[in-house]
Amino acid sequence: MAEGREVQWVEVTEGQVGQRVDNFLMTRMKGAPRALIYRIVRKGEVRVNKKRVKADTRLALGDVVRIPPLRLAPREAVREVSDSLRNLLAGSVLLEGRDWLVINKPSGLAVHGGSGVKIGLIEALRQVREDLDFLELVHRLDRDTSGCLLLAKSRPALLTLNNALKRHEMTKQYLALVAGRWPARRDFVSARLDRFDAGNGERRVRVDPAGKVARTRFAVREAFAGATLVEAEPITGRTHQIRVHAAHAGYPLLGDDKYGTREGGRLAARLGLSRLFLHAAALTFPEPTSGRPVKIRAPLGEELDAVLARARQDR
């Protein structure tokens, strides 16, 4: 990322109205880590109409934002996107509209940087798509989950899609391979979930009566010897919801290093699975401008297809 050498004065346009200062800066200062954004705001180096602001200050039409020169120490700089990642992301766009796009997120790529991650999908895409002045995640996927991920290319689209998400007008279907024979009659798992610190800064989720309401719909798609391919549709959107609900039901996801079992680990190894078998296979959402439903599917990757092929041979 090229460092800015001079102060910039940027006027807020109609598409940026209502945006938080920190998100505005993340878009303008492509590649800058979020911690740096918060630091320069806190120190007063960022001004709106020559006044100090907070990171969550909302911008209005015509506001003038002062952006200071960017000086990144090597340890805090976001990594430049590699040619291989650039090509991978460019070829992973499933469908793109005027103010949104859906990408088939690769497994192993975090959606954003931080906590030791030098570059995430959103930072990389902002470097790849230099033609876009605005690009934000509408929702998230776990680092090890692949599949449909929706992004907004304008502030109004982001707000519209976020509202659709809150009103449950957006549906997501996942494919997961779980250990054991999932019973056909078990079509829902409802268990409250609570996040906790597992040590070393790692955050995990557990079933807890004092946690937040969470419900997932499951349907059997194919049964194998010792494993089942299920479709999972989260009714709520809690962190690690599908993974924890499946484990709570007694059928942990294969390849899950957080909530899996040793027996599941041995089965995954036998099938040649080296990642979490969780794939966001389909996404349906209302198009921001017209309201018409858009349904997009992301094909399984070669590794997951190969795992299913080996599972079928074992039957």
Residue that the structure tokens 């024979």 belong to: 181
Q: CA separation (Å) from 291 to 4, 9, 41, 265, 296?
A: 40, 36, 37, 44, 15
Q: How far apart are CA 33 and CA 10, in angstroms?
A: 20
The β-bridge partners of 20 are: 58
Q: Label the pairing between strands 278-286 and 146-152.
A: parallel
Total Cβ atoms within 10 A of residue 12: 19
**Residue 256 to residues 142, 237, 240, 266, 282, Cα–Cα distance (Å):** 12, 19, 11, 12, 21
- The strand order across the sheet containing 64-67 reads 8-11, 64-67, 47-48, 51-52
- Catalytic positions: 142
Find out whether 75 and 127 touch, Cβ atoms under 8 Å.
no
**Residue positions counted in the chain:** 315
Q: How far is CA 294 from CA 95, 138, 168, 289, 313, in A?
A: 10, 15, 15, 12, 36
Measured between alpha carbons, how far is 151 from 296 in angstroms, rounded to an integer?
Answer: 13
User: CA 22 to CA 34: how far, in whole Å?
Assistant: 8
Q: How is residue 95 written in tokens? A: 């469908």
Quick check: 37 and 123 in contact, CB under 8 A? Answer: no
